[in-house]
Every structure is written in C-alpha cells, then in structure tokens.
Amino acid sequence: MLIVKKFGGTSVGDKDRIVNVAKRCIEDYQKGNDVVVVLSAMGKMTDELIAKAKEINPNPSRREMDMLLTTGEQTSVSLMAMAMDALGVPAVSLNAFQVAMHTTSVYSNARIKRIDTDRIFNELEQRKIVIVTGFQGVDRFDNYTTLGRGGSDTTAVALAAALHADACEIYTDVDGVYTADPRKVPEAKKLTEITYDEMLEMATLGAGVLHNRSVELAKKHDVQLVVRSSMTLEEGTVVKENVRKRTSEISGVAGDDDAARIAVLGVEDIPGVAFKIFNVLAKKNINVDMILQSIGRGNRKDISFTVKEGDMEAAVTALEDHLPDGTYEAINSSAEMAKVSIVGVGLRNHYGMAARMFQALYEADINIRMISTSEIRVTVLVNKEDMEKAMILTDTRLQINPKHYANSDVNKLNLHYNRLVKANNRLIDEVYEKELLRTKAEIEALQAQVNPHFIINALESMYWVLVQKGDMETSK
C-alpha cells in the first residue's frame, strides 16, 4: 500500500513535533507500506523569510521571493530525514528540482503541470521513506516557483494522483473539517465526511483547512482525502465524491476577511464594457470574485466586484490607467470587507436557506453589501468587523439536528405545531390585511405551511420559543 502524508507547518514547528511526525510515518512504514511525506515550512518560517526580504527590499521581485521561500520547505524535509535516520529508519529528502515537479512560470502562484515519478519510485524500491518539499516546483527554465499559500496540500494531492497512491492524508492542527471555524464559532461541529464540491467551495471561501487547488485536483483525479490532526489519533474528515444523507442541508459556514469591494460607476451600457474592465485586471493577474452589475439607467450602469484586499490599490490603478476616457464616471473602492458563506449540497433541493441566513443578519443589524450564489453556495459581503458575528448567527440559525432534542420534546413540538397550523388556517387570510401581531413560532409555522421542507425548521424555532417561555427544558 502506498500512502502520501502531508504535514503543515504547525505539525513540524519544533524538534518534538518533528520527532512526533517521524514516529507516525514510521508506524505505517513498519506495517509494510510505502510512505511518501510532504512537508510545509516549519511554524512561522515563511512569514519570517518574507519579513527578512522586506527589510532588504520593500518591493522584491517575485522570482527572488520564490527562490527565498523554497528554503523553508527544504529545511523541514532535511530535518525530518535526519529525525527518521536517528530512529533507525532509512529516509531521503527531495526538493522540487530533484523530483522534478514541473510548474508554470507564474511566480508565487504557479500551477503544477506534471510530476516525474521515477526518482520517487526508485527510492521507495530501496525501502526508504521519501520526504518531498511541498509548496514549490520548477518551471521550464529551471527557476524555482511556489504554488501560493497552502500549496503543500496541492503538492500532496498531485503526488498521490501521479503515484496512484492508495491513500492521501492531510494532517493539520485541527482534527478534521468543521461546519465553521471552531476558533470563531465555538458551536461548530466536526463533519465525518464532505463532498469535493462542498469542500472546494469552503476552501475557496476562506476555510483554511485545505488549499482550494488541492481539492480541485482531488476531484479531477478521484483522490479520496482524509483530513486529520497530527497531534491526536482521532478519526478525521473524509473528502470524497458522494456522502451519506445528512440531517442538515448545510455542511458549513465559511468566512474570509481578506476582501475589498471596487465599484466602477456610470459605465457605458453597451456590449464589451465588462470585457474591457475584467481584461485589464486579468492582464495584471488580479483575481476577481463576486461580481454585481446594476440595471442600466440613462445608458449607464454600475459594475461592482471584489478582490483580495492586497490587490485593491493595484486594481484601481490599473483600471484608471487602462480604461479609455468616457468608459466610466468614477471608481469607488472599499477595504475592510469580509465574505460569509453557507455551503451544502442540500441547497440544490431545499428552499429558503438564503432567506433564513438573511433574516439572521437582519435581526443582528448586519448590512449586506453584495450577494453571490452558486448551486451549493450563498455568499454575502459584509463589513469585516461583522464577519465573526455573522458566522455565529448563521451557524446557529442553520445547523438543524433533530438528535439534539429528546423524544418527549419532539412530541410536544408536534402538538404545538398542529395547534398552530389549525389556527393559521383560520387566520392566514387576515395576516396582511389586519397586520396581526404574531409570535415568532406562528410566523415559522406559516412558512412551514407554505413549504413542507420548513416543518423541522418551524419545530426548532418553536422549541426555542417554548424554552424561553419555560414551557420545556432543553435536553441534555
């Protein structure tokens, strides 16, 4: 059995953790498995290297930055090989050039094109553990390149696909994929499994547990992933094509506080203007995320979109320098933005999830700046200061799990629900005409009556209303 194991910077942050990782890899090796290990740079080493570069040159070239940053992973793999050797197990460290890991020539954001596997298989045949640098590659001119933040995940998945590995394990400082970042949302729950599509959306939207390109590769090559902690022996989260039916339609809430909004106002309402705007940004290698175009008025319209906060000034400058005169009236930009998203395959077939999310934000007086959707995702742009509160409120509103309630409580809820439905049948025609004062439970029951999918949601809302009234106790 061939196993690819990837360990992040926290997992190899010091001597004790390096030895811990070495022992975990040796356990699988001693069972007769072939083991390939992919490592990130130790702890905060990448940040320290960036800081050192800035001390020398505030605006270093991307090529030289990649040349510098690749030394972080080379330090990790060589120390890991030494640790395994000290434990009596043969190991060899290889960098991207020695493998070789061929990439495009886009410095700091390269993509893997192909991997030569001969050297790795030769070392495995000699019963060595092979330790490979993550995050890096070489282009056709033999220059070192890096894959962007989190690129070691992509290295591991690409190796697993190229080597036709039997397993690909991603070890982090958390014990799996959660419905939300547990550091921001204490009530977040760990998922036992998640689909590639859901994980890709969450990774793209700010969930830092996996690099989004690694998930793309895993889906493309059908590489099943397991995300688990390097600090414990707990089972992690399996990322695969299909999962068993869940009790909740939503698999997770993601937050990304690295966003800025740019609005190009008074754009000519003619064909080709959107192309001109986004072509300018594409030539500057600036990625655009959410896009919103307003309805035209007086032969003019507005186009708003989001970029990474660090790209905002470059994007505005590029547009001002390259868009023809008269194409637009003004460009406004706003930093300090954040994206909050709900993700789940259940969004394909269940209605009203977006409305419930928006209601939670409305009740907390959180203003929505932009909205973007896909088949399994709803994303809103909010002020950065509101992100964590929005995540907590959204998670609380949408994480429905009937197992949280005792059977006796559910029976009581059904009685209350049936009573309210009968009352609503008599009053439904009068609601809007007489503007009757309704309880929250009655409103939810009305929604449930319109769409049967909301029944369990109505029961949950009624449950908490009744708890607050003291009619029943929360189940332990």
Predicted pLDDT at 297: 78
pLDDT (0 to 100) of residue 363: 86
Q: How far apart are CA 69 and CA 65, in angstroms?
A: 6
Per-residue model confidence as pLDDT tens digits over 270-293: 888 899 999 999 998 898 989 988
397-420 mean pLDDT: 47
Residue pair 156/133 in contact (Cβ under 8 Å)? The answer is: no
pLDDT at 7: 96
Position 442 scores a pLDDT of 55
- Whether 433 shows a pLDDT value over 80: the answer reads no
What is each CA distance from 122 to 4, 117, 130, 370, in whole angstroms?
16, 9, 10, 53
Q: Report residue 244 as tokens.
A: 């068993």
CA distance 49 to 391: 33
Q: Is-contact 176 163, C-beta < 8 A?
A: no
pLDDT of residue 476: 33
Q: State residue 435's pLDDT score.
A: 41
76 pLDDT above the threshold of 70:
yes
Provide the pLDDT for residue 346.
73
Encode pLDDT of 361-383 as tens digits: 998 899 999 998 888 889 999 99
Whether the predicted pLDDT of 145 surpasses 80? yes
Angle at 35 (CA atoms; ends 30, 36), nearest 5 degrees: 155
147: Cβ contacts below 8 Å, ≥ 6 apart: 103, 109, 110, 111, 112, 135, 136, 137, 154, 155, 211, 213
Give per-residue pLDDT as tens, 196-213. Answer: 888 888 877 766 788 888
Q: Between these two residues, 405 and 439, which has the higher pLDDT value?
A: 439
* Residue 230, number of CB atoms within 10 A of its CB: 22
* Percent of the chain with pLDDT strictly greater than 70: 81
Q: Between residues 70 and 471, which one has the greater pLDDT?
A: 70
Confidence at 225, pLDDT banded by 50, 70, 90? very high
> Is residue 352 a contact partner of residue 453, using CB atoms and an 8 Å limit?
yes
Closest to 260 in 3D by CA, of 203, 304, 201: 304
pLDDT higher than threshold 80 for residue 471: no
- Tell me the mean pLDDT in the region 239-267: 83
Mean pLDDT is highest, among 131-135, 220-224, 360-364, 470-474, for 131-135
Residue 86: its pLDDT value, please? 97
How do residues 435-462 score in pLDDT, each as one tens digit? 444 455 555 555 444 444 344 444 444 4
For helices 196-204 and 212-221, angle between their N-to-C axes, nearest 10 degrees: 160
Q: State residue 260's pLDDT score.
A: 93
pLDDT given at position 235: 87
Does residue 83 surpass a pLDDT of 90?
yes
Tokens of 287: 């990625």
pLDDT at 326 over 50: yes
Structure confidence by residue, pLDDT tens digits, 47-64: 999 999 999 999 999 999
Residue 465: pLDDT band (50, 70, 90) is very low
Average model confidence (pLDDT) for the chain? 83
pLDDT (0 to 100) of residue 474: 40
